[in-house]
């Protein structure tokens, strides 16, 4: 017959091993697909700048202020510029478009809703900027080595998706693609190939005669 003390030690060891096993099962991954659960998220931020307007559009001083603001905001590819002008002045729009065009940005139709009201005699220039990130990455929450269902770990895809979010020039492209120009890449490449093929051979008219020796 087994002593009581020894029996108690075995029961305690068995309970400890079961506890460790259950603890390990709690960290097992559950995603049985090949899709990463961590996906890029695009966030939009609106920055506003109010300028004084008149019958002649923007004064030189206001144009300088707006140009300095564009420089400070590092306006560039991927940014969107729009105008909230109660007077809908074409002269004001042309002045803003000219300043934004220095950075390669076109002024878009329609401005997003921003807080506050545009005062009379003013126009609001709205800069919309998008950023992309992958929340929750890296994710090492599943630390268990046991994976009975052959599932992918929570951090699966974090590296690829984080690099994509960091490198994309225009984060808005992750939500909607660019509009096509009607000309495909194949059509563009065929132009160069056709030009090369249709070009007359260099020896078509014979070899050029050259004289050697001096007078």
pLDDT for 39: 93
The total domain count for the chain is 1
pLDDT for 127: 97
Question: Does residue 108 fall inside a structural domain?
Answer: yes
Question: Does residue 52 fall inside a structural domain?
Answer: yes
More confident residue, 193 or 169: 169
Instruction: Quote the domain boundaries for residue 58.
Output: 44-130
Question: Does residue 61 fall inside a structural domain?
Answer: yes
More confident residue, 17 or 120: 120
**pLDDT bucket at 1, cuts 50 / 70 / 90:** very low
Question: Does residue 6 fall inside a structural domain?
Answer: no
Is pLDDT of 188 > 50? Answer: yes
Q: How far apart are CA 161 and CA 39, in angstroms?
A: 7
pLDDT for 13: 46
**pLDDT bucket at 54, cuts 50 / 70 / 90:** confident
Question: Does residue 97 fall inside a structural domain?
Answer: yes
Please tell me the least confidently modeled range out of 24-33, 61-70, 138-147, 156-165.
Answer: 24-33
For residues 63-76, average pLDDT: 96
Q: What is the CATH number of the domain that holds 105?
A: 3.30.1330
Question: Does residue 19 fall inside a structural domain?
Answer: no
Please tell me the least confidently modeled range out of 22-31, 73-82, 91-100, 103-112.
Answer: 22-31
Question: Does residue 16 fall inside a structural domain?
Answer: no
Is pLDDT of 152 > 80? Answer: yes
Question: Does residue 207 fall inside a structural domain?
Answer: no
pLDDT for 183: 57
């Amino acid at each position: 017959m087994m002593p009581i003390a020894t029996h108690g030690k075995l029961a305690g060891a068995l309970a400890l091993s079961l506890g460790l096993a259950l603890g390990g099962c709690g960290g097992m991954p559950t995603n049985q697909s090949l899709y990463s659960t961590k996906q890029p998220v695009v966030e939009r931020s609106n920055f506003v700048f109010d300028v004084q307007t008149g019958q002649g559009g923007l004064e030189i001083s206001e144009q300088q202020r707006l140009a300095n603001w564009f420089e400070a905001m590092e306006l560039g590819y991927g940014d969107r510029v729009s105008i909230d002008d109660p007077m809908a002045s074409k002269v004001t729009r042309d002045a803003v478009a000219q300043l934004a065009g220095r950075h390669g940005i076109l002024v878009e139709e329609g401005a997003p809703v921003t807080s506050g009201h545009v005062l009379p005699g003013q126009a609001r220039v709205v800069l919309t900027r998008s950023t992309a990130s992958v929340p929750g990455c890296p994710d090492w929450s599943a630390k268990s080595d046991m994976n009975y269902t052959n599932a992918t770990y929570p951090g699966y895809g974090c590296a690829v998706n984080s690099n994509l979010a960091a490198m994309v020039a225009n984060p808005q492209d992750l939500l909607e693609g660019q509009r096509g120009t009607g000309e495909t890449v194949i059509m563009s490449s065929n132009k160069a190939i056709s030009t090369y093929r249709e070009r007359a051979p260099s020896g078509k008219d014979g070899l050029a005669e050259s004289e050697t020796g001096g007078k």
